[in-house]
Structure 1
Amino acid sequence: MNNLRHLLLLGGGHAHVEVLRQLGQRPLPGWRVTLLTREEMSPYSGMLPGVMAGLYQPAQALIDMPALTARCGVELLLDRCTGIDPQARMVLRAGGPEIAWDLLSIDTGATPDTSRTPGAAEHALPLKPIDALLPRMQAITEAAQPGEHLVVVGGGAAGFEVACALAVRLPASVTLVAGASGLLAGFPDGLRRRAKRALARHGVTLSEGRNAARVAPGAVHMEDGETLPASAVIWATGAAAAPWLAETGLARDARGFLRVDACLRAEGHADIFAVGDVASFPEPLPKAGVFAVRQGPVLAANLRAVAMGETPQPYVPQQDYLRLLSLADGRALGTRNGFVFGGRWVWWLKDRIDRRFMARYQH
């Protein structure tokens, strides 16, 4: 065992579960592999709105990491990373001794940014980490009564889908605060119009053109002075980087995410890879799970290449990609290559894609 080199996978994100699957199919000769993650059950973000809408049971959207790592011959450490020392090749963790590695891959994701709005960190419920979200959402669901007000802050895909899910499932009223940039900025106008009609059909109040200025117990205070009553506030804004990344000495972008090269390596470090939401690419990419999923096979191949002394290959992001948004009522909206479509068949397509993804790692 002592003669084996050590590949450490940090985080159980969408790309790393594919690395685990491939290592299970083709073990890496001369190497032992460890996964360090804080989540025993790794969530698939694409199915989270469906869980919140009651369309899936939570277990359907969770990957059992002890079972997956056992099948793949990988050691699992359930703990929280607190730092990385690239020079000493050590990872620090909260509940145990530091871990030495020869090759490191980071897929720890990101969380909604609560730092820019006073009171959000104390009084709002962020969508991630999902393992902390689900129990609290269950409590909100069980306690929801007619006349209560739920506020979702964030006008992107996640905020839109969550607002639809809550409105369909719960008797409380729902307000979606889409902010100054408006609902689904960056999506085609035709899809945005359909999305607004769906919100209206579900009874969701849409607030656009203004930001939330402060979150207080029982209220969201808007920048124009209006106060929105809120029995609960769900925070679904842009992503934020983990604070401990600042202490690593690794190159980061202006938002604190790790800068990587075309081959998914941390800038200036041939032995450190980073993927998914934690990574910042030369040509910026949206923080969307579809990119992490596509990065998984490239990462697996490049980790194997470096481990065997070969040259890694570049990751080429898809120029356009299929974007599907659940309406929580058996229908969905979609867009690709400028085309916009919607209906029950789109939900069928999304459900099929999501279930197929999960089947790779759950069984």
Structure 2
Amino acid sequence: MTKRLVLVGGGHAHLSVLRALAKKRPAGIDVVLITPSKHQNYSGMLPGWVAGHYSQAQCRVDLDPLVRAAGVHLVLEQIVGMDAARRCVGLSNGQHLEYDLLSLDVGSETDTSWLETLGDKLLPVKPLDNFFARWPHVLAAAKASRGYRLVVVGGGAAGVEMALAVQHAFTSAGVDGHVDLVASESGLLPGHAKRVQDRVTRFARQAGLGLHFFRGVGSEEGVLLSDGRLLRADRVIAATGARAPVWLGMSRLTLDEHGCILVDKYHRSVSHPNVLAAGDVCARTDAVMSRSGVHAVRAGPILGDNLMAILNGISLQSYVPTRHSLYWLACGPRCAVASWGRWSAEGQWVWRWKDWIDRRFVRKFSETTPGEATPMLENTP
């Protein structure tokens, strides 16, 4: 009997799965990829795009050649629910799709629960498709205004990179405005070495960012800080903590306290072994993994191998996360800070390394070998 493998999300890990299918696809399987767009935006290049160093086309992977090479049905829809007991997922168009084997790489959402009062002023970094669509309008509005005020909320890597990128974009475009960065009392880049924090803080002050080490909540006028001050804002970009998609709460999968899918060392659901997951949507039961795209990229090939192994009835491989991840932190201009454990470095040469790695990643998944698998037309099964 033909078995159906359903891939939900075109994220970093599933790019590797598609390549694995294109190279060696097991017989007797029907593969479906559900994702809202034909293009997968690469999060690592988002700050560089905002700063004006890249075009959007340079920051994304066109999924169409990959899915055709892999012989995969492409369904351009959002997933809005799933029932692991019934082995089916629900789509935004009202259809349900059954599966024998399911792989989830849908990423996370930006947790904006304490900023919702901002209404239309709020722009979360995720989902990326929405941010890529809206940012050009924000920049255009800033260029057409006097005294434009933009606030970035979030002191982690995403918030710091975004604030520095926006500041550089404003400076390059001659915007009459000001950029504030709101972090918590923990300061910038909690979890990174002090030397890294000092380097990035220096970049932020030199760029002219307003730094605020207080918690903030949204108001109609802007962001209200825990010390009582109000940061008035025309736009607030949220680069706050990640949260799992809400629909997972009704999936019947075993989740952790944050709503993420609990998986074992093979990245199988601990409650439903026919469901695998990678990236921010999952959490390991046996290891602590940071919320970093690095793990999605590195786990991708192993996820692909394990899906093939399950279909072929052979042994699975475990993914062993590294103790430290190497971070490349873009700092607005073509300069960056590297962070790995207690080691760090900065300069234009770090940017050039980051730029080379990012471009290589996009190029790797934009090139396919002709004739690797039988092409299949898009359709909704």
Per the TM superposition, whether the score is higher than 0.5 is yes
Partner residue, 1:263: 266
1:237-295 deviations in Å (ceiling 9; x for gaps): 11011111000111111111111111100112121001100001122311110110001
Partner residue, 1:248: 251
2:299 corresponds to 1:301: no
Show the 5 A alignment for 1:54-65.
Answer: 54-65=52-63
* Alpha carbons of structure 1 residues 352 and 154: separation in structure 2 relative to 1, 3 Å: same
* Alpha carbons of structure 1 residues 262 and 121: separation in structure 2 relative to 1, 3 Å: farther
> Would the aligned equivalents of 1:9 and 1:104 in 2 still touch at CA under 8 Å?
yes
Once the two structures are TM-superposed, the CA of residue 311 in structure 1 deviates from its matched residue by 2.2
Q: Which residue of the other structure, out of 27, 47, 59, is the alignment partner of 2:25?
A: 27
Across the aligned residues of Structure 1 and Structure 2, the Cα RMSD in angstroms comes to: 1.3
2:15 corresponds to 1:17: yes
Which AA in structure 2 matches 1:99? L
Q: Distance in 2 between matches of 1:144 and 1:115?
A: 26
> Would the aligned equivalents of 2:116 and 2:122 in 1 still touch at CA under 8 Å?
no
Q: Distance in 1 between matches of 2:6 and 2:218?
A: 40
Which AA in structure 1 matches 2:236? V
2:209 corresponds to 1:194: no
Q: Distance in 1 between matches of 2:71 and 2:328?
A: 34
Which AA in structure 2 matches 1:231? D
Once the two structures are TM-superposed, the CA of residue 121 in structure 1 deviates from its matched residue by 6.3
Which AA in structure 2 matches 1:160? V
Structure 1 ranges of 4+ moved more than 4 A:
none
> Would the aligned equivalents of 2:150 and 2:236 in 1 still touch at CA under 8 Å?
yes
2:75 corresponds to 1:77: yes
2:350 corresponds to 1:346: yes
Q: Which residue of the other structure, out of 351, 356, 365, is the alignment partner of 1:361?
A: 365
2:179 corresponds to 1:181: no
> Would the aligned equivalents of 2:85 and 2:252 in 1 still touch at CA under 8 Å?
no
1:213-240 deviations in Å (ceiling 9; x for gaps): 2232x41111221000111000001101
2:334 corresponds to 1:336: no
> Would the aligned equivalents of 1:180 and 1:211 in 2 still touch at CA under 8 Å?
yes
Q: Distance in 2 between matches of 1:177 and 1:134?
A: 22
> Would the aligned equivalents of 1:6 and 1:31 in 2 still touch at CA under 8 Å?
yes
Q: Distance in 2 between matches of 1:120 and 1:5?
A: 47
Q: Distance in 2 between matches of 1:166 and 1:116?
A: 22
Show the 5 A alignment for 1:1-363.
Answer: 3-119=1-117, 123-145=121-143, 146-170=146-170, 171=175, 172-208=177-213, 210-216=214-220, 218-282=221-285, 283-363=287-367
Which AA in structure 2 matches 1:69? V
Q: Distance in 2 between matches of 1:362 and 1:192?
A: 35
Q: Distance in 2 between matches of 1:98 and 1:304?
A: 24
Q: Distance in 1 between matches of 2:299 and 2:253?
A: 21
1:78-111 deviations in Å (ceiling 9; x for gaps): 1011111112211111114211111100011101
Q: Distance in 2 between matches of 1:255 and 1:353?
A: 31
> Would the aligned equivalents of 1:114 and 1:120 in 2 still touch at CA under 8 Å?
no
Q: Distance in 1 between matches of 2:114 and 2:2?
A: 46
Aligned residues: 359
> Would the aligned equivalents of 1:44 and 1:61 in 2 still touch at CA under 8 Å?
yes
Q: Distance in 2 between matches of 1:46 and 1:267?
A: 30
> Would the aligned equivalents of 2:7 and 2:103 in 1 still touch at CA under 8 Å?
yes
Q: Helix, strand or coil for the counterpart of 1:246?
A: helix
> Where in structure 1 are there 5+ consecutive unaligned residues?
none
Q: Distance in 1 between matches of 2:25 and 2:94?
A: 27
Which AA in structure 2 matches 1:202? A
Q: What is the TM-score with the length of structure 1 in the denominator? A: 0.96
Once the two structures are TM-superposed, the CA of residue 28 in structure 1 deviates from its matched residue by 2.1
Q: Helix, strand or coil for the counterpart of 1:144?
A: helix
The range that moved more, 91-100 or 252-261, is 91-100
Q: Helix, strand or coil for the counterpart of 2:219?
A: strand
The range that moved more, 247-256 or 90-99, is 90-99
Q: Distance in 1 between matches of 2:107 and 2:237?
A: 19
1:96-134 deviations in Å (ceiling 9; x for gaps): 421111110001110110124452566411001111111
> Would the aligned equivalents of 2:110 and 2:127 in 1 still touch at CA under 8 Å?
no
> Would the aligned equivalents of 1:152 and 1:163 in 2 still touch at CA under 8 Å?
yes
> Would the aligned equivalents of 2:5 and 2:29 in 1 still touch at CA under 8 Å?
yes
Q: Distance in 2 between matches of 1:215 and 1:105?
A: 39
> Would the aligned equivalents of 1:124 and 1:215 in 2 still touch at CA under 8 Å?
no
Q: Helix, strand or coil for the counterpart of 2:61?
A: strand
Once the two structures are TM-superposed, the CA of residue 31 in structure 1 deviates from its matched residue by 1.1
Q: Helix, strand or coil for the counterpart of 2:131?
A: helix
Which AA in structure 2 matches 1:215? S
Q: Distance in 2 between matches of 1:332 and 1:143?
A: 28
Q: Distance in 2 between matches of 1:84 and 1:290?
A: 27
* Alpha carbons of structure 1 residues 256 and 123: separation in structure 2 relative to 1, 3 Å: farther
Q: Distance in 1 between matches of 2:186 and 2:311?
A: 45
